Structure 1
Amino acid sequence: MSTVPALEAVSAASGFRRTEIDRRPVGPRDVEIEIDWAGICHSDIHIARDEWGATSYPVTPGHEIVGRVLAVGEEVTGFSPGETVGVGCYVDSCGTCEYCADGRENFCAEGVVATYNTPLPDGSVTRGGYSRGVVVDERFVLRVPQALDPARAAPLLCAGITTYAPLRRWGAGPGRRVAVVGMGGLGHVAVKIAAAMGAEVTVLSQSLAKRQDGLAFGARDYFATKDPETFERNRGRFDLVLNTVSADLPVEQYLSLLRVDGVLCSVGLPPEPYSVRPMALAARQRVLTGSMVGGLPQTQEMLDFCAEHGVESEIEVIGADDVDEAYDRVVASDVRYRFVVDVARTLARAGA
């Protein structure tokens, strides 16, 4: 057992404090990682502030982790000390069910173990990347290609795979028209990835405030959804509409943008149920679906794809003492486009 500096929240309203947390000894199949960078995902905020009603305090969030291998267990063959690696949303699964065997650990039949806030059999709870180190089974460690900037790669461990998986699943590529709803932390990565896949990309955002960014990221068109003409002008245009926002949407309006056999896929998770008449789907054989990150093989595929095509997150680097302010700014949509904590330089020791 070892201890590492970390941040923790002790209640929904407490904000973060510096502390030290325990990490397990390195087992035969484990990789010990010294964390350098930790991205901030909106789900971190939901958990830290108990907005989903399922938080076990004290909690140390963070599932967009990039760092360097410190040590490996005796049975580890895929990693060596000094390599740059990442850890995403999950750190364990049963490894034997049909989904794990198929490389889709995120759907583990026994229940996947999240990187933080998941109770373990010994009574402890997983702690995440707002810390200086972590020990992870090698199955859940990802190789970060040298072509990627480590800080800008961190958000890809969630935002990247969350958008890459449905874009691959629904055939984004040459000759396909893809609309991305929202140009935030998820949306800006989705635009870059879809464009790199060769699709014709359109951004649908509330306003035109980020239009120049969207076009620079690879979008061909950019429309404001508050303009009623947007829906009329784009009716029946898209093969895939990828919704990255968690706001309640007039779903049938967005379904009207789809071609025959078109797909509306949501990776944003609004709190209220969708209201859709069956005829809105049946009339043009449209699909309404969702997607939840991806398995480990596909996450590695995503990182390699991003390295090959120069896709990285747009980030603002912050210190460990700036996380509470960053959370407020994320809620206020005041970030372009992801916050990343410089763990290596700013979380050196508790009380520093």
Structure 2
Amino acid sequence: MAAPSSPPSKTFLGWVAHDTWPKNPLTFGPFEPKPFTDTDIEIKISHCGVCGSELHTLRSGWGPTNYPCVVGHEIVGTVVRVGSAVPTLASSPAARDIKVGDRVGVGAQSNSCLRPDCDECQAGIENLCSRGTGTYNSKYPDGSKSHGGYALHWRGPAHFVFKIPDALPSAAAAPLLCGGITSFAPLLNNGAGPGKKVGIIGIGGLGHMGILFAKALNCDRVVAISRRSNKRDDALNRLGADDYIATDEDPDWAKKHSRSLDLLVSTVSSSKMPFSDYLRLLRVGGTFVQIGLPEEPMPAFSAWPLSQKGIKITGSSIGSPAEIRKMLELAAEKKVLPWVQERPMSDVNNVLLDMDAGKARYRYVLVNDVESQAKL
């Protein structure tokens, strides 16, 4: 089945999940995007990163998924349609300059209420708006479903569409739009920079970008933390980390590195993490930020570190539009390029299986191209 060069007016084509994955693979076919409005932008997708969130959603791991569903929220492509109100959009001056032909991206959020009485939206932290819309498996205010980037086209509000700097290749830019900002925002908002010692737990899709951004922010020391030493060379010699801790291979790691870090960012999605030992690594006044989202509850821990060292435990969710633009600017300036493996979007089911098996080093990016589409 050959893919069309442009979508029908009311139907898009993409790789649709109709039931729980992996028992039910994604199938290429039609789906209905949100109705186009005068504040929307339509994109012809060239690249879409594969995020761990997709695996949780496709198998209903975080709760029942509203099938049929098109996942994918690390979208890069070319603008093919701009709503009439976008050039005068009051809510997002940065979106006003977007025009047909521009290379743009969309991350994990595609809408928020933007109401005058919304404290979060008015404070510029739209990612924390209680009425926000996820880029997939969510609903817009008009009741239409949101669908993501495992498709030929995407349509949605201009407020959450971002110009991609010329210095960033599309395949590298795509993972930044969710994985990148998810790693960057907790660093930015918790003081990472000169004079700070930072640890990144989990050296995978999120973690390797966390190391890259911590170095780009000029942190004094960046420590990579993983269960085994198989990623030591990547972390120290290629990503730029200053030290490496393999928690499964050194029974005294927590004692040896006690009170050595100002900030810990945990990217792992396992409920079996040695949480209490992680807290031992923090100095007085340190902060632990959880950004991975396990499907099971987090482990219990003693309250003593909270009072004895005055540490803080918090979480972080993606990032605001302003933070995403700041991240893209820094990535372009400092050449922060995620490690990506490009795969044809037509091979998406095998890519997801490889992702679930932990084979990515460290991010898969699906590519829409004439050759792969011709195979459908």
- Report TM bin, short chain: over 0.9
* CA shift in 2, pair 1:346/1:126, >3 Å: farther
- Asked if 1:4 corresponds to 2:24, the answer is no
Tell me the residue number matched to 2:292: 268
Provide the rounded CA distance (Å) in 2 between the counterparts of 1:335 and 1:321. Answer: 18
Mapping 1:41-56, distance limit 5 Å: 41-56=51-66
Match of 2:84 among 48, 70, 74: 74
* CA shift in 2, pair 1:74/1:119, >3 Å: closer
Mapping 1:1-352, distance limit 5 Å: 1-12=9-20, 13-24=23-34, 26-77=36-87, 78=96, 79-96=98-115, 97-109=118-130, 111-120=131-140, 122-199=142-219, 200-215=221-236, 216-226=238-248, 227-247=250-270, 248-270=272-294, 271-345=296-370, 348=373, 352=376
Aligned length: 350
CA contact (8 A) 1:132 1:347 kept: no
**Alpha-carbon shift at residue 333 of structure 1 (Å):** 1.3
**Alpha-carbon shift at residue 23 of structure 1 (Å):** 3.3
Show CA shifts across 1:69-124 (max 9, x none): 11212222220111110000111111011111122111113x21111111345553
Show CA shifts across 1:228-267 (max 9, x none): 2322221110000111101121211011101100111110
Q: Structure 1: which amino acid aligns with 2:43?
A: I
**Alpha-carbon shift at residue 25 of structure 1 (Å):** 5.3
Q: Structure 2: which amino acid aligns with 1:343?
A: N
Q: Structure 2: which amino acid aligns with 1:233?
A: K
Provide the rounded CA distance (Å) in 2 between the counterparts of 1:239 and 1:249. Answer: 20
Greater shift, 184-193 or 20-29, is seen at 20-29
Greater shift, 189-198 or 215-224, is seen at 215-224
**Alpha-carbon shift at residue 277 of structure 1 (Å):** 1.6
Provide the rounded CA distance (Å) in 2 between the counterparts of 1:149 and 1:210. Answer: 25
Mark the runs of 5 or more structure 1 residues left unpaired by the alignment. none
CA contact (8 A) 2:105 2:164 kept: yes
Show CA shifts across 1:213-240 (max 9, x none): 1121120111211112322221110000
SS at match of 1:300: helix
Mark the runs of 5 or more structure 2 residues left unpaired by the alignment. 1-8, 88-95
SS at match of 2:229: coil
Q: Structure 1: which amino acid aligns with 2:175?
A: P
Provide the rounded CA distance (Å) in 2 between the counterparts of 1:300 and 1:57. Answer: 32
Provide the rounded CA distance (Å) in 2 between the counterparts of 1:118 and 1:178. Answer: 34
Provide the rounded CA distance (Å) in 1 between the counterparts of 2:191 and 2:147. Answer: 36
Provide the rounded CA distance (Å) in 1 between the counterparts of 2:79 and 2:33. Answer: 15
Q: Structure 2: which amino acid aligns with 1:261?
A: G
CA contact (8 A) 2:111 2:140 kept: no
Q: Which runs of 4+ in 1 moved over 6 A?
A: none
- RMSD of Structure 2 on Structure 1 (CA): 1.6
CA contact (8 A) 1:93 1:113 kept: yes
CA contact (8 A) 1:5 1:347 kept: no
Greater shift, 140-149 or 16-25, is seen at 16-25
Greater shift, 338-347 or 281-290, is seen at 338-347
Tell me the residue number matched to 2:3: none
CA contact (8 A) 2:344 2:369 kept: no
Provide the rounded CA distance (Å) in 1 between the counterparts of 2:25 and 2:147. Answer: 16
Show CA shifts across 1:164-214 (max 9, x none): 110011111111100101100000000000011011101011111111211
Show CA shifts across 1:31-58 (max 9, x none): 1111100111111111111122220111
Provide the rounded CA distance (Å) in 2 between the counterparts of 1:68 and 1:321. Answer: 19
Provide the rounded CA distance (Å) in 2 between the counterparts of 1:101 and 1:268. Answer: 27
Greater shift, 325-334 or 56-65, is seen at 325-334
Structure 1-normalised TM-score? 0.95
* CA shift in 2, pair 1:259/1:24, >3 Å: closer
Provide the rounded CA distance (Å) in 2 between the counterparts of 1:258 and 1:280. Answer: 9
